[in-house]
Structure 1
């Protein structure tokens, strides 16, 4: 990952804002995508030269007030605003110690306590650290249940399994971007991003948008070869005694076709 993370983030998000959405009038042909630097500076109420230095990496310690103003000008959502503050050093970057890769025995027992729900534990780089039997069966079309990003972008099963692949891909990249702000010096994250950028043009394109997204809850749409279409909602729970680990639990709407398909999958398991 590059040294000027703050400037790259600002530049990418500036390019993603349509002038008409923020009330900037269009005057002739625009040579840049999104907003110009000067327009962002006006919207945020900061000096244009100061903002240019932020993008260029010549100014790296803006105040929290300036960052809040830039977040508003760039229409950043809460995840992206928190990421912006972490890049600038105005928010805690990482709890003491890195995310442990060992899952506690108590958490493993909890995983097995969800016999009717696929459940697994991931770290900040989306490595699957542990999974219950139903989660393994759900992801059986993949060569390995090892890393959600690798599975999505590099495994041939990814595009068949995720029927809304584009949405899943954007979410996966957004999760990794958030991790890059939480632990910017992670060797594992650097190696994973390097591999994915080299082997997947789709990942590389999404990575350079600097879109940030926290993993909380969402609906996922699957196509499983044994039970057909399946829509499940996941909930991500932080593991308090292992910072950076998350427990992901999937559920189906009760008394519907997705619940029946999930029950059939559990029977196969």
Structure 2
């Protein structure tokens, strides 16, 4: 193939990738991906900033991807974009090909790195919810009742992003507004422990672009440390639940924490979990 034909083929792929991703964004609404509606939009569908935040990639990087200019595209990132945009297996395969990668032969495996014994611990803690997050607050492993009781969905990849963008999660939290200030202060406190890690600023910058509430709180520069907390959940099926949340370090995984929720005595939460224990809920990892 001549150099001219190579350039023409590359340009065709860039155009097709741009149009393909734009069309996948346009067919979804914020409600489709669990985000709150934010008034009328000039154009239909999700904004680039929203796709980037939900997929856990930088806004500028996603913009370059949609323009066919992104470097070092990985399958893991493409899978995150495909999940966010609700792509079918055929669409996901098409995304790989347009991005210049060979599609995997099977659906991507969930991210690893968490020892099997910790997965067993999360399973054993049920029906009480628990999960493991890394130092950037990315969710890396779930106990089997986290989705049911706390409102996390299959596209939730980061605790902070979920707190400010997941409409169902917010609906379950009767004290969401009161808790938001402390959540942001704790994330800034964690970021201060890793002053040379740019990922914290990248997460905050991307989240500011889609959440005015986060942007306002981040601008206050308040700092707090993680520790024990009380979490209230107004659940439509299980009633009012109140948990004591404890953050534990994971010695074998530096920077990782296990967040474990225990019923607060005298709130009826333990009894609600006993009723839930009779149900069989599948575990979810990643």
- Corresponding residue number in structure 2 for 1:222: 233
In 1, distance between residues paired with 2:218 and 2:205?
Answer: 11
Q: 1:211 to 1:265 in 2, by over 3 A?
A: farther
Structure 1 vs Structure 2 CA RMSD: 2.2
Change (3 A) 1:259 1:145: farther
CA distance in structure 2 between the aligned counterparts of 1:223 and 1:154, rounded to whole angstroms: 18
Pick the aligned partner of 1:127 from 101, 125, 138: 138
The CA deviation at 1:115 is 2.3
2:150 to 124, 139, 153: 139
Structure 2 matches for 1:110-121, cutoff 5 A? 110-121=121-132
The 2-side partners of 1:116 and 1:158 are apart by 18
Whole-angstrom distance in 2 between the partners of 1:140 and 1:157: 6
For residues 177-188 of structure 1, what are the structure 2 equivalents within 5 Å?
177-188=188-199
- Cα deviation 1:124-143 (Å, max 9, x = unaligned): 22111101102232134646
Q: 1:118·1:135 contact (CA, 8 Å) conserved in 2?
A: yes
Count of aligned pairs between the two proteins = 170
8 A Cα contact 2:234 2:241, kept in partner = yes
The CA deviation string for residues 30-51 of structure 1, in whole angstroms up to 9 with x for no partner, is xxxxxxxxxxxxxxxxxxxxxx
Instruction: Tell me how far apart the structure 2 counterparts of residues 214 and 224 of structure 1 sit (CA, whole Å).
Output: 28
CA contact (8 A) 1:162 1:168 kept: no
Cross-structure match for 1:106: 117
3-state SS in 2 of match to 1:125: coil
- Which sections of structure 1, spanning at least 5 residues, go unmatched? 1-99
Q: Is 1:162 the counterpart of 2:173 in the alignment?
A: yes
Partner of 2:208: 197
1:267 is matched with which residue?
A: 278
- In the superposition, the TM-score normalised over structure 1's length comes to 0.58
Q: Which runs of 5+ in 2 are unaligned?
A: 1-110, 282-286
Q: Quote the offset at 1:232 in angstroms.
A: 0.7
- 1:246 Cα deviation from its structure 2 partner: 0.6
* Distance verdict in 2 for CA 1:205–1:131, change over 3 Å: same
Residues 232, 243 of structure 2: 8 Å contact kept: yes
CA pair 187-229 structure 1, distance change in 2 beyond 3 A: same
Q: What is the rounded CA distance, in whole Å, between the counterparts of 1:196 and 1:229 in structure 2?
A: 29
Q: TM-score, normalised by structure 2?
A: 0.54
